[in-house]
Amino acid sequence: MIFFRVSQNINIKTTDGTLVNYFKFKMPSNLENDTVYITCENDFNDLNKVFENVDKDKYTTRLLKEKKVRELESFPIELGISNKDEYLNSVEFKKNTAKNVIKNEDEVLSLFDKSSKVDIYKQLVKKDKEEISLAIIGGLGKSISQIVSSCTALRILNTKLKELYKSVKIDLYINASNNSLYSRDRQVYLKQKFINNVMPLSITSKKLCTYDYFIDNSSVMQKLSGFNSLNMVDAWLYKFGIDYKKISSYEKHNELNLENVVASKNLEEKIKAIKKKGKVLLFHPFSASANKTIPQNIASSILKELILKLDGYTIVSCLNIDSKLVDDKFINLSKDSKTINDFIYIISNMDSIITTDTSTFHISDAFMIPTIVLSTDTEIDKKTKYYEHLKTIKIEDKSKSLSKFIYDNDSLTLYKYKSWQSLKTSKIIKLLDTF
């Protein structure tokens, strides 16, 4: 976490219209007040860019001594692996990197991963209380995929805390200063029943001091080595101070609360009409990443074969795969899937799913829907380790680059889509039949 003050009053509006108010620092008798701010490193950098764009001379931030704020009598207890002195560690990292002192990835990670494994049960000192409150500073991922799977670890944390306390209130504070996806991320988090509220960073020291405990997630995914070597759920459990090896695979499934999913009346009626025809399959061949996406012509070919060979199914998609395709067995829902709520609602109503490596299969796991993932990721087995209703078809990258530079150059890449071209629809259908 970064501890700081601002030079002038200013309001920052988040994407959902929420205002984050910053007030000029007041000389306090102590540092527990409404003008001492705490946020994540990335959000702090974003905030400084916002200030610079508004008026770099008038609006500035100034760091405060972390130790003095942490020494407040009412400052909450940190749980999990500590992120203490993050700013100083970051400065050290940048300085050493600039001097080429650090030469390999293991050394870089060890700079931030100095803390040994911790036991959360030894950190919980307020065991005589019936109710506790916990602030999570920083989100649990950037993408929908990361957030959904990471919330599984957070749910397990909540379950373990409720074994000791009658009531556990968990609030999340996530990046908002320049986060164009703040509204979307907030909606995804609020699909979890155990999360009390999701609010924008920064948080004041006065507000943080109202909590019993806090967990600092600032830059954890980039700097904690466990996130490179472990499954996402296990990595977060490790960060929280929970022995992931003692948590059963059964507990590591995703959950989403449909009570908070409000789809349009038109979409509800369309889904009902489609389901009356028989079984429904979602085909989701595209991804935000070009390397994970099925080429459009191949996706169109697969879709046509699925329509022809999958008896008893209506195929739907939330993507524009082939604008010329017209068939009674295919429904294009791209115009109806406008929000994350719409997308979750559609997935929850499917009988089967065929998708590339996207958030789709993380969401489908929450509803135990048989899902086939077509993946080019060499670490897909690690991602899907605890997904019992999922099967993968691995697409081996057969491309060969003629470029001698470190950056990609498509014009110098041979056989880029050769693996996708060799994918047989019959193989997908045969695997689908094994569920």
State mean pLDDT over 250-273: 92
The domains found in the chain, sorted by start residue, are 69-251 (no CATH), 263-432 (3.40.50.2000)
**pLDDT exceeds cutoff 90 at 182:** yes
Q: Determine which of 61-75, 91-105, 297-311, 351-365 has the lowest per-residue pLDDT on average.
A: 91-105
pLDDT in the model for residue 92: 65
Regarding pTM above 0.85, the answer is yes
pLDDT in the model for residue 282: 97
Q: 3-state SS of 185-197? A: HHHHHCCCCCEEE
**pLDDT exceeds cutoff 60 at 99:** no
pLDDT in the model for residue 381: 93
The pLDDT > 90 percentage for the chain reads 69
Q: Determine which of 92-96, 132-136, 267-271, 330-334 has the lowest per-residue pLDDT on average.
A: 92-96
The values of phi and psi at residue 433, to 5°, are -70, -15
- Residue 28: pLDDT band with limits 50, 70, 90: low
pLDDT in the model for residue 417: 64
- Residue 270: pLDDT band with limits 50, 70, 90: very high
**pLDDT exceeds cutoff 80 at 184:** yes
The values of phi and psi at residue 215, to 5°, are -125, 130
**pLDDT exceeds cutoff 60 at 407:** no
pLDDT in the model for residue 289: 83
Concatenated DSSP letters for 334-371? TTT--SHHHHHHHHHT-SEEEEESSHHHHHHHHTT--E
Q: 3-state SS of 63-74? A: ECCHHHHHCCCC
> pLDDT tens digits for 124-175?
987 778 999 999 999 999 999 999 999 999 999 999 999 999 999 999 999 9
pLDDT in the model for residue 30: 78
Q: What is the mean pLDDT of the chain?
A: 87
Quickly tell me which residue has 């065991």 as its tokens. Answer: 127
